[in-house]
Structure 1
Amino acid sequence: MEGERVIGVAVDFSACSKKALRWAVENVVHSGDHLILVNVQSEGLYEEGEMQLWEATGSPLIPLSEFSDPVIAKKYGVKPDPETLDILDCVARQKEIVVAMKIFWGDPRDKLCEAIDNIPLSCLVIGNRGLGKIKRAILGSVSSYVVNNGTCPVTVVKQGEHEG
C-alpha cells in the first residue's frame, strides 16, 4: 500500500461510529484510497478459533465481500448492520476504493493506536459518544486518548446532542 492513502475509521457499528464513517466517506476518502475499518472487541468475549490466532496482532485484513457475509462475520464475532454495509458498498463502487476490516481484541485505546502503526494508517477517523464529564472521568475517553497518543492525524467526529 506504499504511496497510497490508507484511511482508517474506528467502527463498533454504533450510531456514532456510523456518523464517523459517513463523515470520512464524504470528506476524506478519495478515489484510489484504501478504507480500513478498525474494530476493537473486548478481550475474553471470543470463543476458540481464528480469533485466538490473531489476539496479539489483530486479524488479517478482511475484504468487504467477506465481512458482508453473515457466516464469515459471525466467525470473527462482528455484526455489521445493513446501513453500514450499504454505505461501504456505495463508496467502494462510486470512488473505486478498496474496503477492508481489521479486528483487534483488547483495550480500544491501545489497540487503535497499535492499528495506526501496524496497518499503517495515513489518518484515523473516530466517533465520540459525548460522555458527560463524570462518565468521561471514570471511563476515560477513547477518542481523547487516541488523539493524544496516535502517531497519525486523528479526526474526532462528535455525536450531536440530540443523536443516539
Structure 2
Amino acid sequence: MGDARKVGVAIDFSICSRAALQWAIDNVVRKGDHLILVNIRPDAHYEETEMQLWQVTGSPLIPLTEFRDAHVMKKYGTKPDPETLEIVELAATQKEVHVLLKIFWGDAREKLCEAVDNIPLDCLVIGNRGLGKLKRAILGSVSNYVVNHSSCPVTVVKHAHT
C-alpha cells in the first residue's frame, strides 16, 4: 500500500456506522488514501474451512469490486447494505480512494484494536450508538474501549439522533 494513508472505519452496516463512514469521507479521507472498512462479525463456530482459517487473522483485504458481489460476501457471512455501498462507491470515484473491507470474527472491542495493529491503520473512525449510562455500564462501550486501548488516533462520531 506504499505511502498512502490507511484510514479505518468500523462498520457494522448500521445507521451509526454509516454516519461515521460519511464523516470520515467528508473530513479525513483524501485522494490516494486507502479507506479500510473494518467489520466485526460475532464469534461463531464456522464449519467452512476458509472461515476457520480467517477467524484468527481476519479475512484478506477485500477490494470494492468483490465487496459489491453478494456471492463473494456470502462466503464471509456478511451482507453489506445498499446505503453503505453507495457511500463507498461515491468516495471511490469522487475522492479517488481505494476502498477495502477487512472482516474479523470475535469481540468487537478486542478485534478493532487488533485491526489497528495488524493492518496497520493510521487512524480509526468509529460510530457511537448513544447508549445511556445504565446500558453502557451493563453492556460496555465499544467506542470507549477502543479509544482507551488503540495504538492509533480514534475519532468517535455521534449520530445526529443519539
Shorter-normalised TM range: over 0.9
Across the aligned residues of Structure 1 and Structure 2, the Cα RMSD in angstroms comes to 1.1
CA offset digits 1:5-51 (Å, max 9, x no partner): 00000000000000000000100000000000000011116442421
Tell me the residue number matched to 2:139.
139
Q: SS of 2:7's equivalent? A: strand
Tell me the residue number matched to 2:3.
3
Tell me the residue number matched to 1:19.
19
Task: Out of 40-49 and 131-140, give the one that drifted further.
Answer: 40-49
Tell me the residue number matched to 1:56.
56
Q: Give the letter aligned to residue 125 of structure 1.
A: V
Task: Out of 73-82 and 149-158, give the one that drifted further.
Answer: 73-82
TM-score, structure 1 as length reference: 0.95
Residues in 1 aligned to 2:47 and 2:140: alpha-carbon distance in whole angstroms: 28
User: Counterparts in 2 of 1:97-136, with a 5 A limit?
Assistant: 97-136=97-136
Alpha-carbon contact 1:46-1:77 (below 8 Å) kept = no
User: Counterparts in 2 of 1:142-157, with a 5 A limit?
Assistant: 142-157=142-157
How many residues align structurally?
Answer: 162
Q: Give the letter aligned to residue 24 of structure 2.
A: A
TM-score, structure 2 as length reference: 0.96
Which structure 2 residue ranges, 5 or more long, are not aligned?
none
The sequence identity of aligned pairs, in percent, is 68
Residues in 1 aligned to 2:146 and 2:17: alpha-carbon distance in whole angstroms: 15
Tell me the residue number matched to 1:31.
31
Q: SS of 2:31's equivalent? A: coil
Tell me the residue number matched to 1:67.
67
Ranges of 4+ aligned residues in structure 1 off by more than 4 Å? none
